[in-house]
Amino acid sequence: SFPGITAIQRQRETHIYSGWSLMGRRLACLSATTPPDSDPTGRRQVHSMLKLYYGMNEEGKVESLDPCDINGPHFDPEVYLNKLRKECSLGELMDHESCTVKQIRSLDSDMQTLVYENYNKFISATDTIRKMKNDFKKMEDEMDCLSANMAAITEFSAHISGTLQDQHAQITKLSGVHTLLRKLQFLFELPARLNKCLELQAYAQAVSAHRRARCVLQQYSHMPSFRGIQDDCHVIMEQLAQQLRQKFRDGGSSAKDLSECVELLLQLDEPAEELCDKFLSHAQSRLEADLQGLEAELIDSLVTDTDILEFIDRGCNEFVSNLCLVIASYQELFINHPQEGELASKKIPEMANGKLHVFVDTLAARYFSLVERRIQEEKGVGDNSLLVRALDRFHRRLQAISKLLPGSAVPSQGTEIVVRAARERIKQYLSALQTFYHDSLTDVRQALAAPRGATSKDATPSLPELLTSLSNFILNQLKSVLASVHLFTAKDITFSNKPYFKGEFCSQGVREGLVVSFIKFICQSSRQYCESAGDRGGSTPPALLLLLSRLCLDYETSTISYILTLTDEQFLVQHHTPVTPVTALCAEAREAAQKLLNHYVKVQGLIISQMLRKSVETRDWVNTIEPRNVRAVMKRVVEDTTSIDVQVGLLYEEGVRKAHSSDSSKRTFSVYSSSRQQIRYAPSYTPSAPMDTSLLSNIHKLFSERIDIFSPVEFNKVSVLTGIIKISLKTFLECVRLRTFGRYGLQQIQVDCHYLQMYLWRFVSDENLVHFLLDEIVGSAAHRCLDPSPMEQSVIEVICERG
Amino acid sequence: MEDDAPVIYGLEFQARALTAQTAETDAIRFVVGTQSLKFDNQIHIIDFDDENNMINKSVLLHDAGEIWHISGSPADKAVLTTCYSKTSESRVLTCAAVWRMPPEWESGSHESPDDSSNNPQTLELLCHLDNTTHGSVACVLWEPMGDGKRVISLAENHVLLWDLQESSTKATISSSATLEGKGQLKFTAGKWSPHHNSTQLATANDTAIRGWDLRSMSQIYCIESAHGQLVRDLDFNPNKQYYLASCGDDCKVKFWDVRHINEPVKCLEEHSHWVWSVRYNHSHDQLLLTGSSDSRVILSNMVSISSEPFGHLVDDDELSDNEESQQEDKGKEPLRDSIIATYEEHEDSVYAVEWSAADPWLFASLSYDGRLVINRVPRALKYRILL
């Protein structure tokens, strides 16, 4: 609608456009010489633009790709204009234009200044070049002159050397003669000089002087004058050697002196072997003194009770360190010393080395025997750390020898001693554990016996406590032993990284030799209780058998695996050799537990059977009175069974009964027994049918399982009690069969059996068993009865209720 | 090689006494005595026909009382002794007597066995071994391999040596010994040693085993607490003069060398209740028979303490003759001490076991319910011992 305005607008745009494109080009050639701008931001802008131009990107700054950035390289005037046109109002456009024009103008002026400056510099350069051209021409002339002079000098020099040649040869000759004369003089003066050296004890000088002259004298010995000198020298040197030998023999001198002495003697062709021997024998006497001192202390230690650490310390400080000194100085003298000339060819080091090894070995052997004797004295098992520290020191000090004498067997022998000591130690600990076990068992025995004498009730409640205290004692002792033995493998102990201590010691020694052996020992000794007690009167109290059986069972279920895991963890046992598996040990423990429990059942069963047997055997059953009471022995049997039940219940679980026991009250039981018994025994009392009795019982037997009397029991209370009751009742039966009964005898048996039935069924797993055995007893008694007229069931019940 | 099944014979009465007829060497014959307080007791003579695996029995009446022990004369197969209990005036006393079987029993039984059981013949009493002054008799022992003229009876704590005179119709005590000690001592069992010219006797009382010299009637050795409990029976090794086996209430069978009485030579513990009877095989003393109140009979092979510890010795000629057999021998393992068999045919306590006098591979066992079982040594073992 305003074509006029649009036209103006367009015009302006083109103007601005052309202005910017111009500015862009100018900016592009802006140099460092741009006059400083007053505006700091503008200057910075200029800087960055310059950098841009020279491709020096400011670190990390991404080039602006914005075509609207007027200073950016990608500036697109078309886009910029479009943008302005779109975004700005007319007023803003006008402002913008005036601003742009101002900028263009300032740029133009900058440009001009630059051009002027450059022009000035160019003109001054042209002047300089012209001046240089003139200077060079002068220099060329001077160089020509110099070369001519040099040629002249060379000529003169050649001339002079030619004239001096003859004189030079003469001078050389004269100087040679002078040297020869000097040497001759040295030779003639040699004896005197040697003598003087001898007087001053400057042996080294004497030897070196003699050495220098020796070859010459040897060569010219056919000439009398030289011969004389040689003889003189010989005499003197002989004297000297004598003195040196003397000095060597005395030995009191310092190591340095000694080494010098040896060196000189070697140079004097003294046989090295002899020297070695002398040196070693000299050292040996000193070391032997040390050993004797040690031996004396060893004998003393038996009396004065000094500890092993002191002994080893003394051994190390005196003997081992002296030995090291001897080895070091010996090696310095004979082996490591660099040999020159003919000496090198004699293979002295090899010979000397051999001698040294023999020497060290013999002395070390004596030392070791002393140390071993001392170690054997260590028998107390209380504190292991002292021994381990002593062994460690002993072993550590021997390492010095191995460094000094690489091929020596001494350190390995030392290690063997340590290994032997460790083995011995394990054995001692095992036996200590075994004695401890025996002692604690004796304690338990006493604890079991003591309260029994005072009050019989106090003995039983302490049974579980005794068990836990016993097993804790043993476990703690074992742990403390393990801790003691563990010292052998501590990281700061030098020998702990030897293969023996890493492998065999842990697996064969500690695990097998100590832990497994101990567990086996427990099982074995437990088994012995069963065997020895069976024959010879049974001195072991039954409670101890029960307790041991529970102990073994606990071992089987947890303790063994706990102990072995503990050991394996502590000693990081790597099983190179086959070791006893946990399962085998557990089986052994279980077997022992079973055996002990069986034995317990047998012993307790026997005690009760003995009572029953005596009561049957000693009574006259034919002439007895009518039963009024249950016999006292039956009450005693029930009492004892109850107390056994309590005792076993303290250590073993209840166990399972046959299902019907839950509702089998006393009443239903008596109904059962009376009805059954009447059916069973009624026919047997009628004399006409003798077969019927056995028929019924035989039919019963056909369908019931055979009862093993002394059979293994299970690990629970019911099974144990069942075993004991079986044994007792079977004895009762067999005893009854050997007797003959009168009428009242049979009735007494009836009463007794009924009483037993009333009380014993609750203890056993299958009450039918008790019924069956008691039926057998009554049946047998009826058979063996002269006048079999049984008592009324109701009367029996009344008597039993009352008693 | 199937073994023959055991032969079972049932008696009507309960029984404890069993013996083999010692003097009979042709027929396999056992004698059983019954125990009944109410009926007339019987003696069953059981002939075993090995070929047909059959039993022939004859019954003789023994009306004196129930029989606790029985043993046959070694010289006269018709003569036997029994220990029987007699009740008089409410007093039970066990007496002993020598009997003769009626001469017709053998023929009679063969013709009509049914008749014999219906109308049994009675034993002929030869004489009583009068014991009224000495108490109940535990057992009567014949002189082994003797002429049937000497017997020993063990009555309470007395050893009585009897001479049988006038064809056994008269018995006189020729010598006696009494065991003195604390408490009531009572012999439970005894055995007359077949060695040393039959001059030795072994007795058991409570847990002790004692040896007696019959010439001086004095004790020669005593194994105190030989067993943990009562000793029930003894037997001498027929081939080794110092060896004897014992058994008792501790379920054990022990073997003793009477020269070293501190420890048993060997001990077996296979039964699960009291062992009542132990018997060496008469010919092969490695075979041992035991009967127990756990109703089992166990046959053991005790090679290591037998007179043939290395098995049957083979002649050198035989070896060189046949190399194959030699190799076979090498393949054979030497026999070890072991249980050969456990016989479970009984359902009540077994109180007596006996080897047959005629056939060394055959034995009988008797349980309280009156069941007699005749068994054989397994053939495999038999051939192994013989060959």
- The residues of B whose Cβ lies within 8 A of any Cβ of A are 12-14, 36-39, 85, 87, 90-92, 225, 228-229, 250-251, 272-274, 293-295, 344, 347-349, 368-370
Would you state the structure tokens that stand for residue A261, as one six-digit string? 């002495």
Name B260's Cβ contacts closer than 8 Å, sequence gap at least 6. Answer: none
3-state secondary structure of A29: coil
What local confidence, expressed as pLDDT, does residue A704 receive? 56
Contact A691 B369 (CB under 8 A): no
Q: What is the DSSP string of A222-270?
A: TSHHHHHHHHHHHHHHHHHHHHHHHHHHH--S-HHHHHHHHHHHHHTT-
Residue A729 with chain B: CB contacts under 8 Å: none
Contact B368 A737 (CB under 8 A): yes
What local confidence, expressed as pLDDT, does residue A698 receive? 55
Please answer whether residues A487 and A384 qualify as being in contact, where contact means their C-beta atoms are separated by less than 8 angstroms. yes
User: Residue A444: is its pLDDT beyond 70?
Assistant: yes
- What is each CA distance from A8 to A91, A96, A319, in whole angstroms? 13, 15, 119
Name A621's Cβ contacts closer than 8 Å, sequence gap at least 6. Answer: A739, A740, A741, A742, A745, A748
What's the burial of B298, exposed, middle or buried (CB within 10 Å: 0-12/13-18/19+)? buried
Closest residue in chain A to residue B254, using alpha carbons only: A535
Residue B36 with chain A: CB contacts under 8 Å: 690
Contact A784 B37 (CB under 8 A): yes
- Type of residue numbered B316: D
ipTM of predicted assembly, 2 dp: 0.86
Rounded Cα gap, residues B42 and B33, in angstroms: 6
Rounded Cα gap, residues A289 and B344, in angstroms: 84
Closest residue in chain A to residue B276, using alpha carbons only: A734
A372 in B contact zone (CB under 8 Å): no
Would you state the structure tokens that stand for residue A245, as one six-digit string? 């030998």
Please answer whether residues A488 and A496 qualify as being in contact, where contact means their C-beta atoms are separated by less than 8 angstroms. yes
Residue A606 with chain B: CB contacts under 8 Å: 228-229
A536, A690, A709 member nearest B294 (Cβ): A709
Residue A742 with chain B: CB contacts under 8 Å: 90
Would you state the structure tokens that stand for residue A16, as one six-digit string? 């601005």
Name A285's Cβ contacts closer than 8 Å, sequence gap at least 6. Answer: none
What is the rounded average pLDDT of the residues A769-798? 86
Of the given ranges (A19-33, A628-642, A646-660, B4-18), which has the lowest mean pLDDT? A19-33
Residue A787 with chain B: CB contacts under 8 Å: none
A537, A709, A785 member nearest B272 (Cβ): A709
User: Residue A15: is its pLDDT beyond 60?
Assistant: no
DSSP H or E segment with residue B190: strand B187-192
Bigger pLDDT: B306 or A95?
A: A95
Residue A691 with chain B: CB contacts under 8 Å: 12
B14, B272, B369 member nearest A711 (Cβ): B272
* Selected residue of B11, B266, B272, B292 to mutate for chain A interface (largest A Cβ count, 10 A): B272
Closest residue in chain B to residue A699, using alpha carbons only: B347
Output the average pLDDT for chain A: 76
Domains of chain B: 7-386 (2.130.10.10)
User: Residue A516: is its pLDDT beyond 70?
Assistant: yes
Of the given ranges (A151-155, A253-257, A412-416, A796-800), which has the lowest mean pLDDT? A253-257
Would you state the structure tokens that stand for residue A143, as one six-digit string? 């160089």
Would you state the structure tokens that stand for residue A377, as one six-digit string? 């004295």
What's the pTM value of the predicted model, to 2 decimals?
Answer: 0.68
- What is each CA distance from A777 to B16, B34, B367, in whole angstroms? 17, 20, 16
Which phi and psi (to 5°) does residue A49 adopt? -70, -40
- Report which DSSP code applies to A315: I
Contact A742 B293 (CB under 8 A): no
B38, B92, B344 member nearest A622 (Cβ): B92
Contact B347 A698 (CB under 8 A): yes
B90, B349, B369 member nearest A734 (Cβ): B349
Would you state the structure tokens that stand for residue A741, as one six-digit string? 């009964």
Closest residue in chain A to residue B275, using alpha carbons only: A734
Rounded Cα gap, residues B134 and B117, in angstroms: 36
What local confidence, expressed as pLDDT, does residue A535 receive? 47
Contact A622 B90 (CB under 8 A): yes
Contact B39 A783 (CB under 8 A): no
With CA atoms as reference, report the closest residue to A732 among A759, A752, A758.
A752
A623 in B contact zone (CB under 8 Å): yes
With CA atoms as reference, report the closest residue to B279 among B270, B288, B271.
B288
d(CA B327, nearest CA chain A) in Å:
38
User: Residue A737: is its pLDDT beyond 50?
Assistant: yes
Beta carbon pairs, A and B, within 8 Å: 60
Instruction: Give percent of chain A with pLDDT exceeding 70.
Output: 77
- Report which DSSP code applies to A707: P
Residue B14 with chain A: CB contacts under 8 Å: 694, 783
Contact A784 B347 (CB under 8 A): no
Rounded Cα gap, residues A136 and A142, in angstroms: 11
d(CA A658, nearest CA chain B) in Å:
24
Bigger pLDDT: A499 or B238?
A: B238
- Type of residue numbered A437: Y
A172 in B contact zone (CB under 8 Å): no
Residues A211-238 pLDDT 10s: 777 777 777 777 777 777 777 777 877 8
Residue B348 with chain A: CB contacts under 8 Å: 701
A696 in B contact zone (CB under 8 Å): no
- From first to last of the 387 residues of chain B, give the pLDDT tens digit: 466 788 889 888 889 999 988 887 788 889 999 988 888 888 999 988 888 888 888 888 888 888 999 998 888 888 889 999 888 777 788 889 999 888 766 544 444 444 444 567 888 888 888 877 888 888 999 988 888 888 999 988 889 999 988 777 888 888 888 888 877 788 999 999 998 888 999 999 888 999 999 999 899 999 988 888 889 999 999 998 899 999 998 888 999 999 988 889 988 888 888 899 999 998 888 899 999 988 899 999 888 888 876 655 544 444 444 444 444 444 455 667 888 899 988 888 899 999 998 888 999 999 998 899 999 999 888 888 887
Residues A251-273 pLDDT 10s: 655 666 776 777 777 777 667 77
Closest residue in chain A to residue B293, using alpha carbons only: A734
Contact A606 B229 (CB under 8 A): yes
What local confidence, expressed as pLDDT, does residue A57 receive? 53
Residues 666-695 of A with CB under 8 A from B: 687, 690-691, 694
A360 band by pLDDT with thresholds 50, 70 and 90: confident
Name A90's Cβ contacts closer than 8 Å, sequence gap at least 6. Answer: A5, A9
Residues A162-219 pLDDT 10s: 788 778 888 888 999 999 888 888 877 777 777 887 777 777 777 777 777 777 777 7
Q: Percentage helix, strand, coil, to 5, in chain B?
A: 10, 50, 40
Rounded Cα gap, residues A567 and A573, in angstroms: 8
CA atoms in the 13 A half-sphere facing the CB of A395: 23
Rounded Cα gap, residues B347 and B221, in angstroms: 38
Bigger pLDDT: A256 or A100?
A: A100
Closest residue in chain A to residue B264, using alpha carbons only: A535
B91, B225, B370 member nearest A536 (Cβ): B225
A706 in B contact zone (CB under 8 Å): yes
Cα four-point dihedral sign A741, A746, A747, A751: positive
**Chain centroid, CA B261 distance in Å:** 23
B273, B368, B370 member nearest A709 (Cβ): B273
Residue B87 with chain A: CB contacts under 8 Å: 622, 740, 786
Contact A740 B37 (CB under 8 A): yes
Instruction: Give percent of chain A with pLDDT exceeding 90.
Output: 2
